[in-house]
């Protein structure tokens, strides 16, 4: 293909299943599992599978899901039928159990299969890292960071990230979780609130009452009770509309650079939600594929075993561009792949602008006003620096 060869000295594994991509949340729902098909077809059109170990994933077992989620919740998830959805059209979120069946987390046919496949993808990725069979494991079907122990939330039913991190903790003393989805990674943060073996860092749009989920303020650094080892191990980077590549990249490198030297993670779990890109249907930022991908490149440069998860992303062609390009970074082929989408790529018609790197103007008719001042971003970095003084490893 385009001179894409296996990286020397390290292994990248790609975990996916086309079964997952066939599920539908409903006509109008923003979450479109077929964006994974689009991603895979772009990765394949560029010839990247030749440079990776490719695994068709299995379903996670009930016992595996049970390592984080409660049995009550899983039993309902496994048996609830779409017909059980409340029919009160004026108030669709009324009377839903475990937050299942409302408009954000609908019950749909094959829901349990979909969830167990997403989790299976991330668990397989974690196992490859633990067995030292991969240096970077890719699970674009995972990244569902809002799910709670006994509750669905924000399009997420099973928290595959928590399950994967629990696997990593069997072998690695400290895991760094980084979340570049435009939403706050609340479910993962909460799951590891009381341990100092996981540090969570989420970058997100923050505007309580207006933007989901409304948590993740600058001063939310984990419960500060006296005997909680997890205190100071949650870092939040609350941002405003319209942040640019340059600002985001600078912020990301200074924060993650500092976190890396103080926390000294032995493994990294990076949630790459693509709804932080410009032109996303639910997002608010002005990031281009280059700015988003710079985060992946920086994490790779730290030379620590890493899982790349998917997450949000509601403009499928942009999701596919970002995740395909980030796959090329993982295998070290980013210098070799041409920006032009290959002629023979199926679905090529989806990529209106036939390049991997659309400009801001191509991504959205009217770029958002940037409401992030340089002063505010400096204050955020200073606050994080203060927090890290409490962290000693
Ligand atoms: O991070 O804002 C909310 C909650 C509501 C407002 C929307 N209504 C429908 C329900 C109650 C307060 N929910 C967010 C969830 C965002 C989840 C992001 C997930 C992730 O990217 C990780 C995967 C939200 N924002 C937008 C919508 N929901 C939303 C937009 C459009 C629709 C269609 C389908 C359903 C109802 C109409 C819907 C939800
Ligand atoms: Ca985030
Ligand atoms: Zn999101």
Is there a domain that residue 163 lies in? yes
Is there a domain that residue 79 lies in? no
Is there a domain that residue 109 lies in? no
pLDDT at residue 198 greater than cutoff 90? yes
Q: Which of 23, 69, 145, 146 is catalytic?
A: 146
Instruction: Report the pLDDT averaged over residues 350-374.
Output: 90
Is there a domain that residue 100 lies in? no
Return the number of other C-beta atoms located less than 10 Å from residue 98's C-beta: 20
- Residue of minimum CA distance from atom 4 in ligand 1: 212
The CATH number linked to 364 is: 3.40.800.20
Q: Which of 73-82, 175-184, 260-269 is least confident?
A: 73-82
Please work out, in degrees rounded to the nearest 5, the angle formed at the alpha carbon of residue 55 by the alpha carbons of 309 and 151.
40
Bridge-based pairing of strands 136-139 and 306-309 is parallel
Instruction: Please classify residue 393 by burial: count the beta carbons closer than 10 Å to its beta carbon, then call 0-12 exposed, 13-18 middle and 19+ buried.
Output: exposed
pLDDT at residue 17 greater than cutoff 70? yes
In the reported structure, the alpha carbon of residue 240 is separated from the centroid of ligand 1 by a whole-number distance in angstroms of 19
Verify cis geometry, omega within 30 degrees of 0, for the bond prior to 300: no
pLDDT at residue 279 greater than cutoff 90? yes
Active site residue 24: no
Is there a domain that residue 64 lies in? no
| Best mutation site among 212, 275, 309 for ligand 1 pocket (most ligand atoms within 8 Å of CB) | 212
Question: In this prediction, what percent of the chain has a pLDDT beyond 90?
Answer: 87
ipTM over 0.90: yes
Is there a domain that residue 351 lies in? yes
Instruction: Report the pLDDT averaged over residues 117-141.
Output: 98
Is there a domain that residue 381 lies in? yes
Is there a domain that residue 148 lies in? yes
User: What pLDDT digit, counting tens, does each position of 75-121 carry?
Assistant: 999 998 888 776 666 676 666 899 999 999 999 999 999 999 999 99
Q: What are phi and psi of 306, to 5 degrees?
A: -145, 145
- Domain residues for 207? 12-54+118-388
CB-based pocket (< 6 A), ligand 1: 28-30, 93, 103-104, 144-146, 154-156, 181, 183, 212, 273, 275, 282, 311-312
Is the CB of residue 155 less than 8 Å from the CB of residue 310? Answer: no
pLDDT at residue 347 greater than cutoff 90? no
Q: What are phi and psi of 8, to 5 degrees?
A: -85, 135
Residue 354 pLDDT level (bands cut at 50, 70, 90): confident
Cβ contacts of 316 within 8 Å, gap of 6 or more:
32, 34, 35, 38, 350
Q: Which of 83-87, 113-117, 153-157, 248-252 is least confident?
A: 83-87
Instruction: Report the pLDDT averaged over residues 339-358.
Output: 85
Residue 72 pLDDT level (bands cut at 50, 70, 90): very high
In the reported structure, the alpha carbon of residue 310 is separated from the centroid of ligand 3 by a whole-number distance in angstroms of 10
pLDDT higher for 1 or 87?
87
Count of domains forming the chain: 1
């Amino acid at each position: 293909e385009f001179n894409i060869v296996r990286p020397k000295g390290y292994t990248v594994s790609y975990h996916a299943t086309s079964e997952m991509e066939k599920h539908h949340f409903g006509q109008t729902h923003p979450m479109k599992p077929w964006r994974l098909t689009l991603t895979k077809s772009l990765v394949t059109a560029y010839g990247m599978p030749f440079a990776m170990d490719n695994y068709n994933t299995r379903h996670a077992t009930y016992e595996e899901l049970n390592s984080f989620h409660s049995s009550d919740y899983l039993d309902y998830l496994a048996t609830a039928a779409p017909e059980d959805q409340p029919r009160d059209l004026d108030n669709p979120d009324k009377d839903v159990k475990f937050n299942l069946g409302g408009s954000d987390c609908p019950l749909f046919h094959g829901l349990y299969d979909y969830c167990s496949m997403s989790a299976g993808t991330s668990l397989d990725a974690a196992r490859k890292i633990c067995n030292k069979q991969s240096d970077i494991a890719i699970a674009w079907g995972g990244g569902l960071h809002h799910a709670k122990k006994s509750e669905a939330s924000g399009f997420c039913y099973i928290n595959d990230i928590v399950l994967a991190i629990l696997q990593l903790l069997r072998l690695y003393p400290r895991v760094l979780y980084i979340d570049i989805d435009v939403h706050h990674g609340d479910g993962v943060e909460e799951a590891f609130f009381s341990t100092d073996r996981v540090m969570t860092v989420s970058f997100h749009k923050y505007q309580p009452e207006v933007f989901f989920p409304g948590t993740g303020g600058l001063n939310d650094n984990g419960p500060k009770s006296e005997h909680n080892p997890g205190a100071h191990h949650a870092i939040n980077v609350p941002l405003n509309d319209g942040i640019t590549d340059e600002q985001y990249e600078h912020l990301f490198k200074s924060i993650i650079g500092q976190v890396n030297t103080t926390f000294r993670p032995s493994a990294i779990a990076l949630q790459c939600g693509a709804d932080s890109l410009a032109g996303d249907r639910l997002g608010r930022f002005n990031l281009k594929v280059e700015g988003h991908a710079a985060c992946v490149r920086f994490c790779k440069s730290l030379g620590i075993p890493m899982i790349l998860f998917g997450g949000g992303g509601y403009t499928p062609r942009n999701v596919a561009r970002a995740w395909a390009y980030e796959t090329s970074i993982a295998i070290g082929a980013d210098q070799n792949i041409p920006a032009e989408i290959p002629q023979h790529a199926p679905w090529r018609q989806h990529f209106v602008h036939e390049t991997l790197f659309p400009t801001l103007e191509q991504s959205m008719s009217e770029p958002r006003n940037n409401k992030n001042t340089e002063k505010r971003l400096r204050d955020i970095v200073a606050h994080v620096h203060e927090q890290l003084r409490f962290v000693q490893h």
